[in-house]
Amino acid sequence: MLPKTMTVIEAREPGGPEVLVPAERPVPVPGPGEVLIDVKAAGINRPDVLQRQGLYPAPKGASDILGMEIAGKVVALGPSPGAARFREGDLVCALVTGGGYAEFCAAPEAVTLPVPQGLSLIEAAALPEAVFTVWHNVFERGALKPGDWLLVHGGASGIGTTAIQMAAALGAKVIVTVGSDEKAQACVRLGALRAVNYRAEDFVEAVRESTGGHGANVILDMVGGDYIERDLKAAALEGHIVQIAFLKGSKVDIDLMRLMLRRLTLTGSTLRVQSLEAKARMAKAIEERIWPLVVEGKFKPVIDSTFMLADAAKAHRRIDNPAHIGKIVLEVD
Amino acid sequence: MLPKTMTVIEAREPGGPEVLVPAERPVPVPGPGEVLIDVKAAGINRPDVLQRQGLYPAPKGASDILGMEIAGKVVALGPSPGAARFREGDLVCALVTGGGYAEFCAAPEAVTLPVPQGLSLIEAAALPEAVFTVWHNVFERGALKPGDWLLVHGGASGIGTTAIQMAAALGAKVIVTVGSDEKAQACVRLGALRAVNYRAEDFVEAVRESTGGHGANVILDMVGGDYIERDLKAAALEGHIVQIAFLKGSKVDIDLMRLMLRRLTLTGSTLRVQSLEAKARMAKAIEERIWPLVVEGKFKPVIDSTFMLADAAKAHRRIDNPAHIGKIVLEVD
């Protein structure tokens, strides 16, 4: 028997981590095509921080509760049509548009995947946002192929550690930028061929050197600002620069001459607003291409730290701490 | 019997149109895989102007003589392997890396196409540069599909008039920007659904209105400068902006936030430096997809004016005259 109400984390008002407080909400009722998940773990992502600060409102129709990825047990199925694949008791993880920092969360079955064999629920909750983001941006938009060079800025982040492992497992050569030698070592352990400490070294020169002048076929950039102009220099002929965030600002200068002469492509995306159809397509490809890598042990999410649901504020403080490496995950009782 | 020497047009030194003067050069000897063409007409293109000014040197291995597209009669074949398709006497047009302003020009057979039935050699010489450019940038890089909206800046230019007709014939809906009402009328006659006189109207608003808020799926931009920021506003979700020149400057400001939220792609190219393999692939697609449209009368190059080879300087003055509509072509005796 499901409870009527559940504990969630609300952002009381826009602000710092301290605005995240426990609250009571009704347990969601899964709609057609949805499953209800008894949440055991929820991943923390940078867009959650922006949403907490009031800078990134939830898309229309999404829960106002933070949290875009969860893992747990299926406890109810929505009415047909649609919810047919999973059964009560199945262990799953899901990409959701919100509502993850909660004891229960409804998720469309099309973006719900089985927990890969051998992973804990904590680890499984750390997969969806990063894996969908890397899949879509590096492989779909960036068209990374085996043998290509991938440059990842923010190599030690949740996205970065995921990109290194996915790309290396699929046969690409990975270079990352990071802000400390400790992070550099972590990235190399995960499969990066070179980790550039941007405080000590220019990444354009490092990429030129490592690739023998070829440049990076794909650049995954979450920094923006003056990195873009340098990305244009670090990119290979016909290279793709894919923007997924802009920690150093979104207004940038670029030189179209270079873009044209090198036939570069600059693109980017956000995941959350994309249609369920688009995400379902990604989910299918990910289950076919990436889940087997996880089962084979070629890719495992890097967990920086875990916090109890009630300590969501502490988890947000941790993601703002530049020392973190990998994903930060909430545990739910 | 071929003559030993021929008349060509040389750029005596970097400068204005007056530096273009007739000179004598040896008739080229076709290499393996090449045909020698007795040139009857040569198209004028904007990169020729930049080359004349000393701003766009010929790529390594290319002739220093201006001219990137020609039409005429095959008069000799290079040694095997390769030159096997055409025979002496065939009427052809070709995309070359240079050497077009001349009585004879050698061209790789892979980028030589038969003159489409019903076209004069003047018209055929006006095809290669614009058709390859539009094919590669609008259809390959931009991925324009039937039913899509295409926005073309410089609608009345050689590239613009070609893009309008090719896109309309392949089922896309075309909006152009132009600098006069006369040009606007010419573009509408060619198949543009709307021609925006940029002196009187904001193209962002015009695109929004014409597309019912959808935006342009593909934008072909030869203007650059502040147009880019406006292109980002005029583009549809998942739209492609493809840069092929920058009359208003190549250093531009863009907002990555918009690029990401709308999942836009900014890319561009130059044609001349691309590999023969790449151009051969384009040539094949063009002969299959575009040549039949020409034969069916759905697309015919717009000829602004013709000049005799010796009057190349006048032809260059004409391309700098903003009143020209369509292509300017040199006739060769």
- Quote the pLDDT of residue B82: 67
pLDDT, tens digit (0-9, with 9 covering 90-100), for A221-263: 999 999 999 999 999 999 999 999 998 999 999 999 999 999 9
- E strands in chain A: 5-11, 20-26, 34-43, 69-77, 91-95, 104-108, 112-114, 149-153, 173-178, 194-197, 216-221, 235-243, 251-255, 265-268, 303-308, 327-331
- The mean pLDDT of B185-189, rounded to a whole number, is 98
Measure the CA–CA gap between A106 and B166, rounded to whole angstroms. Answer: 48
Q: Picking from A272-281, B75-84, B265-274, which range would have the lowest pLDDT averaged per residue?
A: B75-84
**Residue A286, in any domain of the structure:** no
**Residue B108, in any domain of the structure:** yes
Using CA coordinates, name the residue in chain A closest to B251: A255
Using CA coordinates, name the residue in chain A closest to B267: A265
User: pTM (2 decimals)?
Assistant: 0.95
| Residue B58 reports pLDDT greater than 90 | no
Measure the CA–CA gap between B130 and B125, rounded to whole angstroms. Answer: 10
Q: Is B5 in the A-facing interface, judged by CB distances under 8 Å?
A: no
- The mean pLDDT of B189-215, rounded to a whole number, is 98
Look up the CATH number of the domain holding residue B102: 3.90.180.10
Q: Whole domain around residue B143: which residue ranges? A: 131-268
- Quote the pLDDT of residue B66: 96
Q: Is B267 in the A-facing interface, judged by CB distances under 8 Å?
A: yes
Measure the CA–CA gap between A187 and B128, rounded to whole angstroms. Answer: 49
- Quote the pLDDT of residue B316: 98
Q: Same domain for A151 and A262?
A: yes
Shortest Cα distance from A78 to chain B (angstroms)? 31
Q: Same domain for A209 and A228?
A: yes
Q: Same domain for A90 and A142?
A: no
C-alpha dist (Å) from residue A23 to A16, A103, A315, B41, B332: 17, 11, 17, 79, 83
Q: Closest Cα to residue B120, out of B144, B81, B91? A: B91
Q: Is B193 in the A-facing interface, judged by CB distances under 8 Å?
A: no
- Stated as kind and residue range, the H or E segment containing A319 is helix A312-319
What mean pLDDT value characterizes chain A?
96
- The mean pLDDT of A126-155, rounded to a whole number, is 98
| Residue A271 reports pLDDT greater than 80 | yes
Q: Using the beta-carbon criterion (under 8 Å), do B253 and A256 form an inter-chain contact? A: no
**Residue A295, in any domain of the structure:** no
Q: Using the beta-carbon criterion (under 8 Å), do B255 and A253 form an inter-chain contact? A: no
Answer for the pair B42, B329: CB distance below 8 angstroms, yes or no: yes
Q: Same domain for A155 and A238?
A: yes
Q: Same domain for A42 and A141?
A: no
Partner residue opposite A260 with nearest CB, options B243, B257, B259: B243
**Residue A23, in any domain of the structure:** yes
Answer for the pair B243, B252: CB distance below 8 angstroms, yes or no: no
Q: Same domain for B161 and B258?
A: yes
Residue from A221, A227, A260 whose CB has the most chain B CBs within 10 Å, to mutate = A260
Q: Same domain for A142 and A22?
A: no
Q: Same domain for A178 and A230?
A: yes
Answer for the pair B95, B45: CB distance below 8 angstroms, yes or no: no
Q: Is A333 in the B-facing interface, judged by CB distances under 8 Å?
A: no
Q: Same domain for B184 and B104?
A: no
- The mean pLDDT of B309-314, rounded to a whole number, is 97
Number of domains chain B contains:
2
Q: Same domain for B137 and B261?
A: yes
**Residue A88, in any domain of the structure:** yes
Q: Is A269 in the B-facing interface, judged by CB distances under 8 Å?
A: yes
Using CA coordinates, name the residue in chain B closest to A256: B250
Using CA coordinates, name the residue in chain B closest to A240: B267
| Residue A149 reports pLDDT greater than 80 | yes
Shortest Cα distance from B114 to chain A (angstroms)? 29
- The mean pLDDT of B284-310, rounded to a whole number, is 97
**Residue A264, in any domain of the structure:** yes
Q: Closest Cα to residue B162, out of B196, B197, B137, B198? A: B137
**Residue B277, in any domain of the structure:** no
**Residue B284, in any domain of the structure:** no
Quick one: DSSP state of residue A304? E
Indicate the residue among A223, A242, A268 that finishes a domain: A268
CB atoms within 10 A of CB A247: 15
- Quote the pLDDT of residue A9: 97
Answer for the pair A69, A92: CB distance below 8 angstroms, yes or no: no
Look up the CATH number of the domain holding residue B251: 3.40.50.720
Partner residue opposite B246 with nearest CB, options A251, A256, A273: A256
Q: Same domain for B197 and B313?
A: no
B282 Cα distance to chain centroid? 13
Indicate the residue among B216, B246, B268 that finishes a domain: B268
Q: Amino acid identity, residue A25? A: R
Indicate the residue among A222, A250, A268 that finishes a domain: A268
Which residues of chain B does A259 touch, with a Cβ-Cβ cutoff of 8 Å? Answer: 243, 266-268
Q: Closest Cα to residue B114, out of B89, B134, B151, B97? A: B89
- Quote the pLDDT of residue B36: 97
Band of residue A58 on the pLDDT scale cut at 50, 70, 90: confident
- Tell me the ipTM for this assembly: 0.94
Q: Using the beta-carbon criterion (under 8 Å), do A261 and B270 form an inter-chain contact? A: yes
Q: Same domain for B85 and B175?
A: no
C-alpha dist (Å) from residue B61 to A329, B57, B58: 58, 11, 8
Backbone torsions φ then ψ of A210, nearest 5 degrees: -65, -35
Secondary structure (3-state) at B127: coil
Using CA coordinates, name the residue in chain A closest to B59: A261
| Residue B151 reports pLDDT greater than 70 | yes
| Residue A40 reports pLDDT greater than 90 | yes
CB atoms within 10 A of CB B323: 11
pLDDT, tens digit (0-9, with 9 covering 90-100), for B34-48: 999 999 999 999 999
Partner residue opposite A257 with nearest CB, options B228, B250, B261: B250
- Quote the pLDDT of residue A60: 87
